[in-house]
């Protein structure tokens, strides 16, 4: 692994920068006595990125718990698909610095591909260790040439955590239909925001700071199954009132979410959805 100076030389721009608040949330979770995700790689990666990072200054209330709950929900769905399909190919798109392949640690019969923009992949290579049956792809997900590098004929698991809102609806549609066309069977799971959350994202202070915003949102994500005749909607899980969030969050955060969830549309403003084909 390289020195911290090299890590600092890699500049992330726009949506690429959104990988850091979610990484920090996962790193902070790992320091809890009873973590939700328990991701030690996130803590290590966060320390490499920010040498002054003193996570012990933070209390549970400052952790981005929804990001951690979202990651856990994706992991659980992924684990159950891989238990059924131990010969699967995994497409982990917009991977950022997430260490899902290490958390899930699939059997050697699974081939795992982590994809993000080239600069993010360069950063990953410096921060996270290599693995067997694991390949990094530096590309925009919208440049469909990357799909030609993936072996065909096996079940596919496509996971996109925190990615879909940064694509336009047309780009997401092209991605989903491209994956369904390329594989005999599979599961596609991603998270999405509501139309309201998409439209108001231009005023989100974090996204503004990074010079980005969301480009799509859906009030009825189940309807995306209509994009391809072989695609079936399975289910969805709202994040803002998830049972884990309500069980683990400190009382003041639980109260805040209960209050926020009374606002029409808030409860379903961010959810993860699962499709199969
Ligand atoms: C909110 S971060 C989520 C990172 C990671 N999935 C996680 O949950 O920790 C969004 C990620 O999507 C990536 N991304 C956004 N648009 C992309 C695109 N068109 N192609 C590839 N990656 C993209 C960003 O670079 C960033 O790493």
Tens digits of residue pLDDT in 140-193: 999 999 999 999 999 999 999 999 999 999 999 999 999 999 999 999 999 999
Q: Which of 212, 106, 195 is nearest to 157 (CA)?
A: 106
Ligand 1 pocket, 120 CB below 6 A?
yes
Q: Are 44 and 38 in contact (CB under 8 A)?
A: no
* pLDDT score recorded for residue 250: 78
Mutate which of 11, 14, 15, 160 for ligand 1 pocket (most atoms within 8 A of beta carbon):
15
Which of these, 257, 222, 262, 263, lies nearest to 242 by C-alpha position?
A: 257
Q: Is the CB of 166 under 6 A from ligand 1?
A: yes
Q: What is the pLDDT of residue 4?
A: 54
38 Cβ partners below 8 Å, 6+ apart?
29, 30
Look at residue 2 and tell me whether its pLDDT is greater than 50.
no
What are 181-212's pLDDT values in tens digits?
999 999 999 999 999 999 999 999 989 999 99
Q: Which pTM value belongs to this model?
A: 0.94
User: Residue 63 pLDDT > 80, yes or no?
Assistant: no
- CA 62–ligand 1 middle distance (angstroms): 22
Residue keyed to tokens 């994040």: 239
Both structure tokens of 141: 């997900």
- Distance between Cα 164 and ligand 1 center (Å): 9
Q: Please list, in sequence order, all residues whose beta carbon lies within 8 angstroms of the beta carbon of residue 98, skipping any fewer than 6 positions away.
A: 19, 22, 23, 26, 42, 71, 92, 161
Q: Cα–Cα distance between 71 and 66 in angstroms, integer?
A: 9
């Amino acid at each position: 692994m390289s020195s911290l100076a090299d890590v600092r030389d890699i500049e992330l721009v726009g949506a690429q920068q959104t990988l850091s608040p979610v990484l920090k949330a996962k790193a902070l979770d790992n320091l809890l006595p009873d973590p939700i995700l328990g991701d030690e790689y996130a803590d290590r990666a966060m320390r490499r990125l920010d040498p002054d990072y003193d996570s012990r200054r933070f209390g549970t209330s400052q952790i981005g718990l929804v990001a951690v709950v979202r990651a856990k929900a994706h992991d659980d769905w992924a684990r159950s698909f891989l238990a059924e399909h131990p010969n699967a190919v995994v497409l982990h798109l917009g991977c950022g610095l997430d260490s899902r392949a290490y958390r899930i640690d699939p059997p050697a019969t699974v081939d795992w591909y982590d994809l993000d923009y080239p600069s993010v992949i360069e950063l990953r290579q410096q921060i996270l260790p290599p693995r067997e049956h694991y390949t990094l792809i530096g590309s925009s997900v919208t440049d469909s040439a990357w799909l030609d590098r993936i072996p065909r004929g096996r079940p596919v698991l496509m996971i996109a955590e925190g990615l879909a809102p940064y694509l336009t609806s047309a780009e997401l549609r092209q991605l989903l239909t491209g994956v369904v066309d390329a594989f005999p069977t599979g599961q596609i799971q991603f998270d999405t925001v509501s139309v309201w959350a998409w439209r108001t994202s231009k005023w989100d202070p974090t996204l503004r700071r990074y010079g980005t915003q969301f480009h799509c949102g859906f009030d009825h994500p189940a309807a995306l199954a209509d994009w391809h005749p072989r695609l079936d909607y399975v289910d969805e899980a709202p994040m803002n009132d998830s049972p884990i969030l309500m069980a683990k969050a400190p009382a003041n955060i639980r109260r805040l979410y209960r209050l926020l969830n009374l606002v029409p549309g808030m409860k379903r403003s961010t959810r993860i959805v699962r499709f199969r084909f």
